[in-house]
Structure 1
Amino acid sequence: MIPIILQAELKEVVLSLFDDKKFVAPEGESRKLSVFEQNLPQKQQKDDSPYPMVIIKLIEGGKEKREDPNVTNVGFIVGTYDENEDNQGYRDAVYILNRLHECFENQPVIGGTFELTGRINWRLHEEDLDPYFFGVMETQWAVPEHGRMDVEELI
């Protein structure tokens, strides 16, 4: 359950970080960033669009040795939309990734419990999917240890 709490805390951070910003949407209007945990929701209508969006995805977790810290790798999938002929929609995706990177570097502890460790890696999708643009960021977080259940019996 601990990684799910991290994921929920990260969602609140992302929503707060972009609360005042709007991006181009497929319907032609500007709208706030949608933030989803793990997957996109099922479409209610055929033309429903989640863009612009960030998906916060739990990738993997664990530790190498018993004495190592418990870590969870979390990915951020960014999707933006831009129909302009100059094909510069990738800029919104980079902007979002950069704001996330800056936020996590400046405030590496989330929810008073989870701490950013290791590198932050990001990249853009190389395939041309115009008018959709994608980027991803992978982060690693130290998460609290599970409590031992057998200690009481040993005392």
Structure 2
Amino acid sequence: MVATFLQQELSDELKKIFKGFRLKNPQGEESELNIFEQLLPMPEPAAEQEEIPSELLENGLAEEQTAPDPYPYIVVRIADGEIKDENSAQEANITLLFGTYEPDYDKQGHKDILNIIAKIYERFAKFPVLNGKYTIQYPILWTLQDEESYPFYFGGMNLTFEIAAVRREDPYA
């Protein structure tokens, strides 16, 4: 098994877990969580047919078009892995990065992050195998941001999965 398959299948599972789960986005709308693999999307340059004169950009009178705002989001990032010996299963470490937006002045956006963490933990505590191929390993680590970033809130979660091992087939070994 390849770690990128795990990444894709975990992304698909997160979409199922969070179907109907809605949080605020910077446009003031309720939005489902956006799930990205490895990185957030890159901003897109302004379309050529809608070229904005540079003097307008420099004076702050116009802005270039960019990719849609990703909030709220989960990034499913392959962090690293380990194969301990020729008879061991591969272990892949996946880092989940969370970003949410909560403009209310009571600054309770960290609770959205904790709810996301709880839903993911609950899924794998109840059913530790993903698609019959990947088994969650403990410990499961999670964290909240250290510094103030109102109205944006961030957190992370480290999940380790055991991936089925490739077995030696050499008859002369």
Under a length normalisation based on structure 1, what TM-score does the superposition of the two structures give?
0.92
What is the alpha-carbon distance in structure 2 between the residues aligned to residue 64 and residue 2 of structure 1? 16
The Cα RMSD (Å) is 1.6
Distance change (3 Å), C-alpha of 1:41 and 1:142: same
Superposed, 1:13-24 pairs within 5 Å as 13-24=13-24
1:123 maps to 143
2:125 maps to 105
Residue segments in structure 2 that go unaligned for 5+ positions in a row: 45-64
What is the alpha-carbon distance in structure 2 between the residues aligned to residue 113 and residue 68 of structure 1? 15
Task: Note the C-alpha offset of 1:23.
Answer: 0.6
What is the alpha-carbon distance in structure 2 between the residues aligned to residue 43 and residue 148 of structure 1? 45
1:29 maps to 29
What is the alpha-carbon distance in structure 2 between the residues aligned to residue 7 and residue 126 of structure 1? 27
- 1:43 paired with 2:63, answer no
Instruction: Report Cα offsets for 1:78-107 as digits up to 9, x if no partner.
Output: 110011111111111111111011111111
What is the alpha-carbon distance in structure 2 between the residues aligned to residue 133 and residue 72 of structure 1? 27
Conservation of the 8 A alpha-carbon contact between 1:120 and 1:139: yes
Instruction: Report Cα offsets for 1:48-74 as digits up to 9, x if no partner.
Output: 310000001111101333343310011
Q: Size of the alignment, in residue pairs?
A: 153
* Identity, % of aligned positions: 28
What is the alpha-carbon distance in structure 2 between the residues aligned to residue 61 and residue 50 of structure 1? 27
2:83 maps to 63
Which residue among 136, 139, 150 is the counterpart of 2:156? 136
Task: Note the C-alpha offset of 1:43.
Answer: 1.9
Conservation of the 8 A alpha-carbon contact between 1:97 and 1:122: yes
Give the 3-state SS of the residue equivalent to 1:136 in structure 2.
strand
Conservation of the 8 A alpha-carbon contact between 2:78 and 2:94: yes
* Bigger CA radius of gyration: 2
2:103 maps to 83
Residue identity matched to 1:95: N
What is the alpha-carbon distance in structure 1 between the residues aligned to residue 8 and residue 67 of structure 2? 27
Under a length normalisation based on structure 2, what TM-score does the superposition of the two structures give?
0.83
2:54 maps to none
